[in-house]
Structure 1
């Protein structure tokens, strides 16, 4: 599919006083530039761990990850990470949170921050504090902050999981707008099948722990996607059958 991001034979075992826990095993995935991949699987199958490995936050692994041919062995501004919780600094305003450790006194930083505020549709809230924002607005700030340094890959770990259904749907639309505008490669973890089908160009289904890739489904539906359409529902059912081992391998396997 592409060698922009290459995950090669990645495995991970956690060691504790209680023993060894095998979390990931023989994970291989090739990702093209500008692609949007959703990762779905049962709890504990290593989805979040895989994101941390791609981010360079966990390097005690088997196998390797390459980004444009370069080994991922540490965190880098080339990879942005968005958590389920927005993790904003409560004492900073929206624009200060987006700028993070960069100074708004720098004209170029200020211009970029203003562009991102427009992109995530938070005009008028530049000087608001996190306590004055809704959950969806706070996640927009987190997304804007992650885009400030123009990452090549944006890693999203269930970023909308804590939001109500209405806000979650709205944020999915907003994320697609950002993806199309910035052409940023997205790797998105979710437990929500509808969310995966609505967003992704491909869906990676992981097995229960230790997480292995069970199948990769291409989502050829045009954007914007109609959740009620027969083709959407057919794909949704295929993801569900893959998760439940009720599928034919040729229906979904493709890497």
Structure 2
């Protein structure tokens, strides 16, 4: 599936990523956490073909995708819905640009997520959580082999965020798309992912990898377990070490 092989990236004299390697397998949900400014968004720009590598390789199904756009499904921090387009038109915009709009598929997905009655509405008629569902469906309908989700719930209130995490898991359980998920929220990573990759401070490389031991399908109850709390504390300590190191001369 997705194979990141020893990649490097700098902007002038600022080295952002250094010898970063990992993979995402078919149907796997991988979360990335790390200190602020550690290069997580830059990584997605490289995977999405927006920025060029200084070294290493990014392979998708064994094909080099450096500077190739349109190879992944992407969901940003904000829904980024066009206010002058209806919900259905926003969902199909990627395919429309590729002259392959899948109207019926988009309508079927809106039905699945309870938004069919809003297909002719405009984004300002939807709540923040509903807009994020539309953004996610837009990424799914693009029918790419992997979805890259960049802190998609960070702007939501806590209750809506928890709702969206459960909703995302339910959709993912049904279809098992490969997902690479960036978040600052440790609990979110533990609840959603199969594996968690912890990045170092800039320049980013892999500090630790954690296999999440909870069985699927997952329930909210695991958040209150002693094991969940222990793993949360372990991940917190990894991040704290990086933050503390940043202040060492």
Give me the TM-score of the superposition, normalised by structure 1: 0.88
- Inter-CA distance 102–46: structure 2 relative to 1 (3 Å threshold): closer
Please give the per-residue CA displacement for 1:143-181, whole angstroms capped at 9, x wherever unaligned.
Answer: 111111211010011110100001111111111122122
Deviations 1:55-77 (A, max 9, x none): 22212331111111000123444
Choose from 39, 46, 71 the match for 1:53.
Answer: 46
> Which protein is richer in helix relative to its size?
2
> Helix, strand or coil: the match of 1:90?
coil
Q: Does 1:6 align with 2:3?
A: yes
Aligned partner of 1:91 in structure 2 is 84
Moved over 3 A (4+): 75-78
Aligned counterparts of 1:151 and 1:101: Cα–Cα separation in 2: 11
SS of equivalent to 2:233: helix
Comparing 61-70 and 110-119, the one that deviates more? 110-119
**C-alpha contact 2:53 2:66 (8 A) present in aligned 1:** no
Aligned partner of residue 89 in structure 2, secondary structure:
helix
> Is residue 224 from structure 1 mapped to residue 221 from structure 2 by the alignment?
no
Match of 2:110 among 108, 117, 124: 117
- C-alpha distance in structure 2 between counterparts of 1:221 and 1:101, whole Å: 35
RMSD of Structure 2 on Structure 1 (CA): 1.8
Give 3-state SS (helix, strand or coil) of 2:32's partner.
Answer: strand
- 1:119 Cα shift? 3.0
Structure 1 unaligned blocks of 5 or more: 247-255
1:207-218 matched pairs, under 5 angstroms: 207-218=200-211
Offset, 1:30: 2.0
Length-normalised TM-score, structure 2? 0.90
Q: How many pairs are equivalent?
A: 237
